[in-house]
Structure 1
């Protein structure tokens, strides 16, 4: 078969298998389609499909097909992060800055600390830290992976729970928005390369100037042209960030953050996010699964994932409960908010993809973090639903 035919075989598998599992298995309650796609990507990776049917795996997912899939995946995830940046409304966080700052701060710092502590024994064990990673980068990266909240997936889950447009949903959105900004700031710090600091300085200075120009342009042009101009801006920011050594994903987030959501029709943005998730993000999920590795043995990877899951869940709940005590929340409120902020999936997977690209972590560590992200996200709705029946907010 030609490379084009094998690529289309891969696309048929990517689109068909997760949909059938999701629809026929009726997994929506504990695993939305996005989560099923991520799990399917892992199953189709070298550790599962590759181990069970090595000849089939090597034929379908040969280097040429993987290269083609990766190109689509890069653009897909850049679009997704870009849209996440646009949707951040920092003005709301500023208006409620005391409550938002305390809650977002504790919700980020406690899982970061517990995750960093959990990373230390892994740091001392061969096979988890990447060849280019320094100890502090590894520890900070794992800690932040435990602290991440996936804002876009959180929105999907809150819509499912029918709280997105309600006061509780808007509060949770503020907390997650502020954490999103801090997460990408920490990633930029982790990736700071002193041998390329001049390039990074040039990029950040150029970005600041260009962002001011872009905002003037966006206000001046009609709405129908803004998205197209935004996509050009996205590609340029991704290119500049990657050239400077910060990774194109940091550039994609920065490109979105400086654009105001009010410049667009909100329904159009929602449809675009939905279409990106439906049409091209499944390719990213598969390419993510293809990067998983089980050569250390499944038991070791699952043990690491379990350790990180405990650190992540305990840290997030502890942090939010501390914030709730300071702010005088009602009984049960902190548990609901803590579990909602526990949602990880996409943003955490994007975050650790960057760490893997930069060789700060190994494929085995990446696999453990991926399992932790899937487990924490799948726990959210089944845990929160009965809590909300008991507590009226």
Structure 2
């Protein structure tokens, strides 16, 4: 059990992380960038890249070594909850995942960047070797790099779609549906890659162990989607105790995360599966809490989940930033950064545009879809942390890829403005770290969501159901 001094240090570190991320997020929002960009930059600034280079190393004083395991644990809980919301959003968009355009965009915006990423990993083996990647030519590394440049952040994309008034348009709908499908494929592939990377036995026994883990993972997914989800749907249809939906959802996410961790996978995969298993029922607002703005109401469960994300995701950004040291990069690393940015943008922009055109979208809408799909954000950071934790990549390349994710996400807003998509005058002001999708704004983005939570947990008299 931590002593009082450790508890005080942990609480102080949490205060600094949350406050700094809030400031940077507000600054990013003022610059019409996704707040998550500001929060990622806040994490980098609090680490050795900036604060650690000042006299006296304030970063080490604010975040001493004995505090970091506690921050990392809370950050992983927040990421697991975030992945629960991602899985929940993926099933929310499943009705849109139909039509020729969605299919062709999904194939183009996933296959083209993955092909370019794999080719870069194979042909640029020397460059990756100079960045400290001794296994640059291995199949696991090549597959990971293919995915690293092909990731699209569905939550950030959805927030941008809402901010730019593209929700309900054909381009916005196709981008959201395609991103959902690509995320599902990417996370399944990443699970297989990290399982392979974690199998350290001999070739024959390692293959058997990996096969067993995959079978158990599929069994877990089948149980969650085929058994747990119908039971939860039945309970949610008959239950009027809406506030209990949140603890049930959290328990489901924690239990699934524990199961995937036991299988040798990261907890985020359990959170993702749990989110997909959570039904979208009985989440409507209280009758007296319908917002006057005319925007779609935020479901109670979604708003509550995003409120949890707001509180703890800054700890993930800080622990990620503490693993980065931009000042340690060499000239060769910055050359590699330019190459990876070019490959990532060419793959997403080119593949997305080509897929949209083949799917029958006009040029303007195709360009819009392509630009939206080039958004990476927090989803990319989670994938990169998985690669780092699994030993697939190491710190210098990790730093390069994080910078690539930030740069390509920063490009989205200016490119949309160049295409004529300006931000709404009543744009979402409070989208937080997870950038909730569609109507799933966070609680401080929509005061009505706060009123719904208050109404849901308010004690009810004997005459109220």
TM-score (norm 1): 0.90
What is the CA RMSD across the aligned residues, in angstroms?
2.5
Alignment of 1:203-282 (within 5 A): 203-221=217-235, 222=239, 224=242, 225-262=244-281, 264-265=283-284, 266-282=298-314
Identify which of 351, 354, 360 aligns with 1:328. Answer: 360
Q: Which has the larger radius of gyration?
A: 2
C-alpha separation between the residues in 1 aligned to 2:138 and 2:340? 17
CA deviation profile, 1:350-389 (whole Å, cap 9, x unmatched): 0111011101000111111110111111110111023135
C-alpha separation between the residues in 2 aligned to 1:299 and 1:130? 16
Tell me how far 1:270 sits from its aligned partner: 4.1
What secondary structure is seen at the aligned counterpart in 2 of 1:64?
A: coil
| Corresponding residue for residue 338 of structure 1 | 370
C-alpha separation between the residues in 2 aligned to 1:103 and 1:170? 12
Tell me how far 1:131 sits from its aligned partner: 7.2
CA deviation profile, 1:295-348 (whole Å, cap 9, x unmatched): 753433332222111111111111122213322321222211111111101111
Contact 1:15 1:282 in 2 (8 A): yes
Deviates more, 1:157-166 or 1:350-359: 157-166
| Corresponding residue for residue 60 of structure 2 | 58
Q: 1:5 to 1:315 in 2, by over 3 A?
A: same
C-alpha separation between the residues in 2 aligned to 1:132 and 1:240? 30
What secondary structure is seen at the aligned counterpart in 2 of 1:388?
A: coil
Q: 1:386 to 1:132 in 2, by over 3 A?
A: closer
Contact 2:261 2:267 in 1 (8 A): yes
In structure 1, the gaps of 5 or more residues are none
Q: Which of the two has greater helix per residue?
A: 1
Deviates more, 1:272-281 or 1:346-355: 272-281
Q: 1:82 to 1:306 in 2, by over 3 A?
A: same
Tell me how far 1:107 sits from its aligned partner: 0.6
Tell me how far 1:256 sits from its aligned partner: 1.4
1:142 aligns with 2:145: yes
| Corresponding residue for residue 15 of structure 2 | 12
C-alpha separation between the residues in 1 aligned to 2:349 and 2:148? 15
C-alpha separation between the residues in 2 aligned to 1:264 and 1:130? 47
| Corresponding residue for residue 163 of structure 1 | 166
| Corresponding residue for residue 385 of structure 1 | 417
| Corresponding residue for residue 462 of structure 2 | none
Deviates more, 1:300-309 or 1:101-110: 300-309
What secondary structure is seen at the aligned counterpart in 2 of 1:261?
A: coil
| Corresponding residue for residue 443 of structure 2 | none
